[in-house]
Amino acid sequence: MGTPVNIIVGSHVWAEDSEVAWVDGEVKEIHGRDATIITTTGKTIVADISSMYPKDTEAPPAGVDDMTKLAYLHEPGVLHNLACRFALNEIYTYTGNILIAVNPFQRLPHLYEIHMMEQYKGTAFGELSPHLFAVADTCYRAMINEQGSQSILVSGESGAGKTETTKMLMRYLAFMGGRSGTEGRTVEQQVLESNPVLEAFGNAKTVKNNNSSRFGKFVEIQFDNNWKISGAAIRTYLLERSRVCQVSDPERNYHCFYMLCAAPAEDINRYKLGDPRTFHYLNQSSCYEVANVDDAREYLETRNAMDVVGISQEEQDAIFRVVSAILHLGNIDFIKGDEVDSSKLKDDKSFYHLQTAAELLMCDKKALEDSLCKRVIVTPDGNITKPLDPDSATLSRDALAKTVYSRLFDWIVDKINSSIGQDPNSSSLIGVLDIYGFESFKINSFEQLCINLTNEKLQQHFNQHVFKMEQEEYTKDEINWSYVEFVDNQDVLDLIEKKPGGIIALLDEACMFPKSTHETFAQKMYQTYKGHKRFKKPKLARTDFTVNHYAGDVTYEADHFLDKNKDYVVAEHQALLNASTCSFVANLFPPLPEETSKQSKFSSIGTRFKQQLQALMETLSTTEPHYIRCVKPNTVLKPGIFENVNVLNQLRCGGVLEAIRISCAGYPTKRTFDEFLDRFGLLAPDILDGSDEKSACIAICDRMGLKGYQIGKSKVFLRAGQMAELDARRTKILADSARCIQRQIRTHLTRKEFIAVRRAAIHLQKLWRGQLARKMYEQIRKEAASIRIQKHLRAHTARKSYIKFQAVSIVIQTGLRAMAARNDHRNRKRTKAANIIQTNWRRFEAVSEYKHQRKATLTLQCLWRAKVARRELRKLRMAARETGALKAAKDMLEKRVEELTWRLDFEKHLRIRLEEETERIEKDSKLQKNALLTLKV
């Protein structure tokens, strides 16, 4: 960041730190809020220009719609305003009556819809946001109210949007002046449809613009007594002829060539065309297509538009025949002929193209070849035919192509004019001028000189108009303005077009003098304009010269000036095409009037253009001009990019800043008494009480020590810088007051804020604590819940494992108990078995014992009883012997014997059973023994 500089007014006047130390300089570059300024003393200052941007209160962030509303009217302010608006897609801005249109490089259909036209219809200028419809409407209203012709001058550099703007203007005028419900083709329709036709033949893709108009255009729309469109005339200027034969990469030739090559197959065959890459006039550049443009569709649309503007099918056919003939002409190549410095067709291909071109032009092919390879020189002794070398033949071929094309273009324009028709009884007209802007390239030639001459002329017209309007305001307010200086560019115009002595006049002279070369022409210029303040000879230049135009220095290369200025049709070409059996072609080359052909073949393009310009200026001078300055925001043709330096340059070249400068040269700041007091009353509040507005204003100015200001009937007129001076004082007072107010307010605000903050903090704390408690409670709940969950989980797990263990142990216990039971059972069984065995054994022993005892007892008893019985018997016998006693004794004894016999049988039977039982027990014990043995095993 460099020295802070406050720009006070104007595009070139600066002051440091609001001091009255003026610095003259120019803004070279702007980066954000820094500007590089080259002062007139050559010093470079990088300045902080933020203070120059409009104050917030005065300029809304979206910018102001009229630059004159800016408190500071200077380059950075204007630029900043445009940039702010552009960023919001507000592409239109006024500077007083001038409309600045920044090309958006994107379709903004909402801006041009029919309802927008309805809105602007009859609305006062400035009431709605800036728009080209407002300009067109003002123009239309002015024509009706003032009964006078109007013109709209659209200018800007290539690609700035002039043609689009012109088309929109024409659409609006057609909307206002159209006849509703008219049958058939209306004039306004034809006027509108003339655009695509002219664009097809006069527009081409250039580096700067994909649809660049290579000619200037003035459309005169005539209105009848009912203010309806009754006729129109289109005047075109300086079509770029050289493009027909010479195209540089990445540009294209005229659109019509590519359209024709993309035409339906039937047309392609008819015109013997093909791929554009096969034609020399098209393949010098590798660019054949334009983004978003379909040449085939454009061809059909152009044909359609041709129908609308009244070009018949036969004429259309002839037009496209000529266009294709030009392409074929371009493919004719020459090589050295048999004679010295002669030429002939290079090969069969060249012959084919010559033949095709001749067929399409309907002329004799031999005559065509001769007209290209030979030249007839008229001498007092008769005509001499001179052969041309291959280079000259090629030049002759290109000259023919260029002439045919430019005649074709002129024919189309004339045809459109005659078909739309002129209204001789028209009461007023509105002219729309779409003309090339100021051009300054690395290499500038004759075309640039003509274009820049046009712009100088228009600039003069513009300056005069702006100046006039300014003066009108001074006169209206009855102020003395005699010393307002007006910077005129008449000297540049004189340098170029004055007759005799101007550059064009010198060029014409040089063209008529056969031995002239571009060097002799340049030398002549150097001599003639030595010391001219608008003409310079660059160091070491042989043919270059620099003209100091209003928009800056342009260095021209005089090398091709002579050729480019010569506008004559080679007699052989004229004769050849005039003799064509196609009436269309023959009409393009009507026979020259006798005296013209005798006088001189030379006609100067420069002079003709000058005359055309003169006629245009005369027409313009009879109209009330309205200006639209188109601005190209960037060189990459993309939306949303705003290149400051580029735009600044265009504003300078377009005269916008010049208009501001003119305004600054007088009294750039005008404020009504009311506004003035409103703004500056605070500089002297005591004056305001009691005195009238005018004297209060005078008193304020005097108290502030202003010199040179003027007081009009209703306004205060301030000189450059005075507004800023007053503003600086006002700012100081405002700043002091503001500081005081700020102090109080800040204290109040800070206290209020503190209380609010404290309350808020307490509230916050409360909420926060609540929040914390809630959180903690939540935490505790969660913990309790988790413990319970753990408990249950553990219980569950324990239960599960217990049940598992229980099941296992029961199984084990069951197993063990079963085993024990089985053991016990086995023991019991064993014991039982043993018991049984023992029992049986004991029984056996007892039985055996018993049996033995019983047997013994029985035996004993038997023995005893036998002994007793025998003793008895002996007693009884002794008694029997005694008789009776004896007999009873005998019976008793017999009974006793019977009983004993029975007992003996029973005993016998018992003993047999016992023996059987014993036998069985013995068997059982044997079995048991065996069983025990098995168990043991």
Ligand X SMILES: Nc1ncnc2c1ncn2[C@@H]1O[C@H](COP(=O)(O)OP(=O)(O)OP(=O)(O)O)[C@@H](O)[C@H]1O
CA dihedral 263, 265, 270, 272 (to 10 degrees): 80
Measured from the CB atom, the residue of 107 and 598 that comes closer to ligand X is 107
Residue 195 CA, chain-centre distance (Å), reads 27
Nearer to ligand X, 155 or 580 (CB): 155
The nearest distance, CB 478 to ligand X, in angstroms, is 42
Establish whether 155 is an annotated binding residue. no
Contact yes or no for 135/169 (Cβ under 8 A)? yes
Answer yes or no whether residue 633 interacts with ligand X by CB under 6 A.
no
d(Cα 562, Cα 198) in Å, to the nearest integer?
Answer: 29
Which among 208-216, 488-496, 859-867, 914-922 is the span making contact with ligand X, rule CB under 6 A? 208-216
Interface residue with ligand X among 160, 504, 562, 677 (CB under 6 A) is 160
Count of H-run helices and E-run strands, the chain: 29, 24
Q: Which is nearer to ligand X, 209 or 406 (CB)?
A: 209
CA-based Rg of the chain, rounded to a whole angstrom? 65
Q: How many residues make contact with ligand X (CB under 6 A)?
A: 20
Which helix (DSSP H) or strand (DSSP E) does residue 701 occupy?
helix 693-703
212 a catalytic residue:
yes
Contact flag: residue 89 with ligand X (CB under 6 A): no
Question: Would you say 658 and 459 are in contact if contact means Cβ atoms under 8 Å apart?
Answer: yes
Catalytic residue (one of 213, 342, 426, 604) = 213
Binding ligand X by CB under 6 A: which of 69, 105, 693, 854? 105
To the nearest whole angstrom, how small is the minimum distance from the Cβ of residue 628 to ligand X?
11
CB of 203 to ligand X, least distance (A): 7
Question: Could you say whether residue 212 binds ligand X (CB under 6 A)?
Answer: yes
User: How does strand 428-434 pair with strand 5-9?
Assistant: unpaired
Query: Which is closer to ligand X, CB of 105 or CB of 481?
Result: 105
C-beta atoms surrounding 845 within 10 Å: 13
604 is annotated as an active-site residue:
no
Distance, in Å, from the CA atom of 752 to the CA atom of 748, rounded to the nearest integer, reads 6
Name which position in 18, 81, 95, 103 contacts ligand X (CB under 6 A).
103
Task: Let me know if 425 is a catalytic residue.
Answer: no
Residue 651 beta carbon to ligand X: minimum distance, rounded to whole angstroms? 15
CA distances from 850 to 174, 297, 843, 862, 915 (A): 164, 150, 9, 17, 12
51 in active site = no
Which of 69, 59, 51 minimizes the C-alpha distance to 14? 51
CA terminus-to-terminus distance, the chain: 123
Among 88, 108, 761, 807, binds ligand X (CB under 6 A): 108
Check residue 209 for interaction with ligand X (CB under 6 A): yes
The region of 74-82, 210-218, 527-535, 775-783 touching ligand X under the rule CB under 6 A is: 210-218
Q: In this chain, which stretch among 133-141, 152-160, 269-277, 368-376 interacts with ligand X, using CB under 6 A?
A: 152-160
Which is nearer to ligand X, 105 or 227 (by Cβ)?
105
Whichever of 255 and 465 has its CB closer to ligand X, that residue is 255
630 binds ligand X (CB under 6 A): yes
The length of the chain is 937
Measured from the CB atom, the residue of 210 and 848 that comes closer to ligand X is 210
Helix (H) or strand (E) holding 6: strand 5-9
**Set 10, 77, 159, 231: catalytic member:** 159
The vertex-22 CA angle with 17 and 25, nearest 5°, equals 100
CA distance 517 to 531: 23
> Residue 337 or residue 654: which is nearer to ligand X going by CB?
654
Residue 676 binds ligand X, judged by CB under 6 A: no
Tell me which stretch binds ligand X (CB under 6 A): 99-107, 376-384, 491-499, 721-729: 99-107
Among 158, 355, 445, 928, binds ligand X (CB under 6 A): 158
At closest approach, how far in Å is the CB of 91 from ligand X?
Answer: 7
Per-residue HEC secondary structure of 51-91 comes to: HHCCCCCCCCCCCCCEHHHCCCCCHHHHHHHHHHHHHCCCC
Query: Which of 217, 402 has the CB closer to ligand X?
Result: 217
Binding range to ligand X, per CB under 6 A, among 19-27, 203-211, 249-257, 725-733: 203-211
- Taking the alpha carbons of 73, 74, 75, 80 in that order, is the dihedral positive or negative? negative
> 162: annotated binding-site residue?
yes
Instruction: Pick the closer one to ligand X by CB: 159 or 196.
Output: 159
CA dist., res. 537 & res. 543, Å (int): 9
Instruction: Kindly state the smallest distance separating residue 262's Cβ from ligand X, in Å.
Output: 19
Stretch that binds ligand X, among 206-214, 267-275, 304-312, 328-336 (CB under 6 A): 206-214
Task: Give 92 or 589: the residue with its C-beta nearer to ligand X.
Answer: 92
Residue corresponding to tokens 């800070």? 750
**Nearest Cα to Cα of residue 244 among 208, 277, 284:** 284
Question: Which of 103, 212, 331, 392 is labelled catalytic?
Answer: 212
CB of 111 to ligand X, least distance (A): 7
- CA–CA separation, 298 and 304 (whole Å): 10
CA angle, corner 253, sides to 248 and 254, nearest 5? 150
Q: Rounded to an integer, what distance in angstroms lies between the CA atom of residue 831 and that of residue 795?
A: 50
Sign of CA dihedral 157, 160, 163, 166: negative
Is 2 annotated in a binding site? The answer is no
Of 77, 161, 231, 431, which lies in the binding site for ligand X, with binding defined by CB under 6 A?
A: 161
Tell me: is residue 163 an annotated ligand-binding position.
yes
Least distance to ligand X, CB of residue 662, Å? 25
Least separation in angstroms between residue 557's CB and ligand X is 22
Q: Which one of the listed residues 50, 51, 129, 158 is annotated catalytic?
A: 158
Q: Restricting to residues 431-470, name those near ligand X by CB under 6 A.
A: 436
Looking at 207-215, 269-277, 737-745, 917-925, which segment touches ligand X (CB under 6 A)? 207-215
Cα atoms in the 13 Å half-sphere on the side-chain side of 227: 16
Query: CA of 475: how far to CAs of 69, 89, 229, 417, in Å?
Result: 22, 38, 36, 42
Asked if 159 touches ligand X (CB under 6 A), the answer is yes
* Residue 766 token pair: 């409360």
Q: At how many degrees (to 10) do helices 503-512 and 605-621 cross?
A: 150
18 binds ligand X (CB under 6 A): no
**Beta bridge mates, 433:** 153, 218
By CB under 6 A, tell whether 202 contacts ligand X. Answer: no
CB atoms within 10 A of CB 129: 15
Judged by CB under 6 A, does residue 211 bind ligand X? yes
Angle between helices 390-420 and 187-202 (to 10 degrees): 170
CB closer to ligand X out of 435 and 588: 435
The answer to whether residue 194 is catalytic is: no
d(CA 928, CA 225): 159
Strands, E, within 437-551: which ranges? Answer: 535-536, 544-549
**Pick from 28, 39, 76: nearest CA to 16:** 39
Q: Is 158 annotated as a binding residue?
A: yes
The answer to whether 705 is a known ligand-binding residue is no
Among residues 74, 162, 217, 321, which is the contact residue for ligand X, using CB under 6 A? Answer: 162
Q: How far is the CB of 277 from ligand X (least distance, A)?
A: 25
Are 667 and 710 in contact, with CB atoms under 8 Å apart?
A: yes
Tokens of 412: 């189309």
Q: How far is the CB of 636 from ligand X (least distance, A)?
A: 12
Q: Has 925 been annotated as catalytic?
A: no
Backbone angles phi, psi at 160, to 5 degrees: -80, -15
The minimum distance between CB 67 and ligand X, in angstroms, equals 19
Rule CB under 6 A: is residue 213 a binding residue for ligand X? yes
Q: Does 164 bind ligand X (CB under 6 A)?
A: yes
Q: Which of 138, 163, 331, 343 binds ligand X (CB under 6 A)?
A: 163
Q: Looking at the annotation, which residues are catalytic?
A: 158-159, 163, 209, 212-213, 437, 439
Residue set of the binding site for ATP: 156-163
Residues near ligand X (CB under 6 A) are 103-105, 107-108, 156, 158-164, 209-213, 436, 630
